[in-house]
């Protein structure tokens, strides 16, 4: 078929418009996100689980990319309980400020990342558990003698925590006179503490014990725990069947002794006193 120059221009314009519409539709489709169905993904043989990458003893990506820590052990047990072997897990880094977003956007099936259950978070996501109960404490340099608890920080000491964490919020509410500096990760706080940029780091005692064990002779925990933090498995609102199945997995892990074995394997050498397992509350 012979096309005149005018018809050729019209055809090219029409094709360009159609192609543009297809591209815009695809982009819009990529931007529309919704939470995942963990049980459906488990039936397909895979799960994407959000964890920390920088917390020794809890959730740490080793130099060879192997994932280690108590949270990893819990996540793998849950996955196995749901029928997914370790090689069917995709690990997704879940920094504290991004956890709710990762769940709501469907980037993870669930999160096992020292994720404290709180009333405000329960309005945004659901939780299974708790699978561990911790307490907020302080990490200081080994030669520090002035800091003995959060009250001793109100004399000009600089305290580091992570933006979006329960620990940072607790300090704001309970100790408003403390000079709080919020970083993007606890490993950044540890580096700042080592270099003398801050005087103390605050988060949960088991997390701090992991850092102290990673850098023997450099840091120590100071004072007693001053909060109670219930670690839960975070997942999307409305996934009741998945939440119940994860609760069943946590209870099974505790009842079979696998919970205690995992905690001793990951935190036993830290010298941190290992607690008894929690009661699963089924939120």
- pLDDT per residue as tens digits for the range 172-214: 999 998 999 999 989 999 999 999 999 999 999 999 999 999 9
As a whole-number percent, the residues of the chain with pLDDT over 70 amount to: 88
Q: How far apart are CA 41 and CA 99, in angstroms?
A: 19
**So what's the pLDDT on residue 2?**
53
pLDDT digits (tens, 9 = 90+) for 80-129: 999 999 999 999 999 998 999 999 999 999 999 999 999 999 999 999 99
pLDDT of residue 282: 74
Neighbours of 138 (CB within 10 A): 27
> What is the model's pLDDT at position 26?
40
Q: Are 280 and 84 in contact (CB under 8 A)?
A: no
Compute the average pLDDT of residues 47-74.
96
- DSSP H or E segment with residue 137: strand 136-141
* 28 — pLDDT class (breaks 50, 70, 90): very low
Q: Using one digit for the tens of pLDDT, what is the confidence trace for 221-277?
A: 998 899 999 999 999 999 999 999 999 999 999 999 999 999 999 999 888 889 999
pLDDT of 154 reads: 80
> In this predicted model, what pLDDT tens digit does every residue of 1-25 receive, in sequence order?
455 555 555 544 544 444 444 333 3
For residues 257 and 75, give the distance between their C-alpha atoms in angstroms, rounded to a whole number: 16
Round to whole Å and give the CA distance between 161 and 137: 11
- What predicted TM-score, i.e. pTM, was given to this entire model? 0.81
| Residue 130: cis peptide before it, omega within 30 degrees of 0 | yes
**CB–CB of 218/143 below 8 Å?**
no
Measured in Å, how far apart are the chain's first and last C-alpha atoms?
69
β-strand pairing of 59-61 with 67-68: antiparallel
pLDDT at position 259: 98
Q: Are 167 and 203 in contact (CB under 8 A)?
A: yes
pLDDT band at 77 (very low <50, low <70, confident <90, very high): very high
Residue 10 pLDDT:
54
Element (H, E) at 221: strand 219-222
The two three-digit tokens of residue 109, written as one number:
């099936």
- pLDDT of 61 strictly over 70: yes
Task: Dihedral sign for Cα 171, 122, 42, 264, please.
Answer: positive
32 half-sphere exposure, CB direction, 13 A CA radius = 6
Rounded to whole angstroms, what are the CA distances from 157 to 145, 163, 280?
12, 19, 38
Assess contact for 253 and 280: CB atoms under 8 A: no
pLDDT at 8: 54
Residues 6+ away with beta carbon under 8 Å from 45:
83, 84, 88
């Amino acid at each position: 078929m012979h096309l005149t120059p005018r018809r050729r221009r019209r055809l090219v314009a029409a094709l360009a418009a159609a192609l543009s519409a297809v591209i815009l539709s695809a982009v819009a489709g990529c931007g529309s996100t919704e939470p995942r169905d963990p049980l459906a993904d488990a039936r397909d043989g895979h799960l994407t689980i959000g964890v920390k990458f920088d917390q020794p003893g809890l959730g740490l990506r080793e130099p060879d990319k192997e994932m280690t820590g108590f949270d990893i052990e819990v996540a793998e047990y849950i996955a196995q309980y749901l029928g997914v072997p370790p090689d069917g897990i995709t690990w997704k880094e879940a920094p504290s400020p991004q956890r709710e977003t990762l769940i709501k956007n469907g980037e993870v099936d669930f999160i096992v990342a020292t994720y404290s259950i709180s009333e405000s978070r329960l309005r945004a996501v659901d939780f299974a558990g708790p699978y561990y109960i911790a307490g907020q404490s302080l990490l200081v340099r080994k030669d520090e003698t002035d800091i003995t608890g959060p009250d001793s920080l109100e004399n000009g000491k600089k305290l580091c925590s992570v933006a979006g964490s329960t620990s940072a919020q607790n300090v704001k509410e309970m100790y408003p006179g403390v000079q709080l500096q919020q970083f993007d990760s606890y490993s950044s706080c540890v580096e700042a503490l080592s270099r003398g940029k801050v005087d103390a780091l605050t988060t949960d005692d088991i997390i701090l014990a992991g850092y102290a064990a990673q850098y023997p002779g450099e840091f120590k925990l100071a004072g007693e725990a001053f909060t109670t933090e219930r670690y839960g498995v975070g997942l999307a609102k409305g996934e009741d069947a998945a939440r119940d199945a994860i609760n069943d997995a946590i209870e099974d892990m505790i009842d079979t002794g696998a919970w205690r074995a995992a905690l001793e394997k990951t935190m036993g050498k830290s010298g941190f006193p290992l607690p008894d397992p929690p009661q699963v509350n089924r939120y």
